[in-house]
Amino acid sequence: MPINEYKPLIVAFCCNWCSYAGADLAGNNRANYPCDVKIIRVPCSCRVNPMFILKAFQRGADGVILCGCHPGDCHYTSGNYFTRRRMAVLFSLLDFFGIERERTRVEWISAAEGAKFAATMNEFTKTVAALGENRRLEDLRCKK
C-alpha cells in the first residue's frame, strides 16, 4: 500500500449504552475497521447537537457518522427517536448546502453487534474515501 494514500478522517459519535459497547465488542472480537475512525462517546445519540457535527467538519473530518441504540431500545426511552427526526432534517439541509449526503450517516448499532459496527465503519470509510476530502466545511486554520 502506498504510504501517501488518501485516508479519510471519520468522526463517529457513539452512544454510551449500545454503539460504544458495540465498538468494544468489535475490538474484543478482533474485527478489522479503519483506524481513521475516531470515536467520540456521548451519553445518548440525542446528545449530539448539530453544532458538534459542523465542528467535526470544521476540524477536518471528511465524514461524520452518528451511532445509537436501535429505535425502541434507547436507554433513555426516546432519545434516539428525537435524534432520528433531527438528523433527517439536518442532513437533508446539509445536502441542500452542497455537503454531499454520503458524508453524513445515522446507524443503529446495538451492544451485541460488533460485527455490524466494523462492517458499517468499513463501508462508510470507503464511501467517504470515494468522495475525497471535505473542503466545503473545513476551516484551514484548524489544520496542522
Partner 1 sequence: MQKMTREALLEKARELLSSGKVSAVLGWKKGEFDYDVTPAVFDSVDALEDFVWGDFCGANLSKYLIKETKKHRVLVFLKPCDTYSMNQLLTEHRFEREQVHAVGVPCDGMADINLLRRKAGEGIVSVDSIGEEIKVETLYSDEPVIIDRREVLLERCVNCKSKKHAAFDELLSDAGEDSSSDRFQDVEKLESMTPDERFEFWQNELSRCIRCNACRDVCPACTCETCVFNNPSSGAENKAPVNSFEEQMFHIIRAFHVAGRCTDCGECARVCPEHIPLHLINRKIIKDMNAFYGVFQAGAEVGAKSPLLDYTVSDIEPGAVFDGRDHDA
Pick from 35, 140, 143, 144: which binds partner 1 (CB under 8 A)?
140
Closer by beta carbon to partner 1, 33 or else 80? 80
Alpha-carbon gap, residue 36 to 34, rounded angstroms: 5
Cell numbers for 116: 455490524
What count of Cα atoms within 13 Å lies in the side-chain half-sphere of residue 74?
Answer: 19
**132 touches partner 1 (CB under 8 A):** no
Helix and strand tally (H, E) in the chain?
A: 4, 4
Q: Which amino acid is at 26?
A: A
Stretch that binds partner 1, among 7-15, 21-29, 30-38, 47-55 (CB under 8 A): 47-55
Residue pointed to by grid coordinates 471519520: 10
Does residue 73 interact with partner 1 by CB under 8 A?
Answer: no
Select from 11, 23, 44, 99 the one that contacts partner 1 (CB under 8 A).
Answer: 99
Q: Which of helix, strand or coil describes residue 61?
A: coil
Q: How far apart are CA 43 and CA 34, in angstroms?
A: 24
Rule CB under 8 A: is residue 101 a binding residue for partner 1? yes
Q: Which is nearer to partner 1, 58 or 122 (CB)?
A: 58
Residue 84 sits in the site that holds partner 1 (CB under 8 A): yes
Of positions 32, 38, 93, 112, contacts partner 1 by CB under 8 A: 93
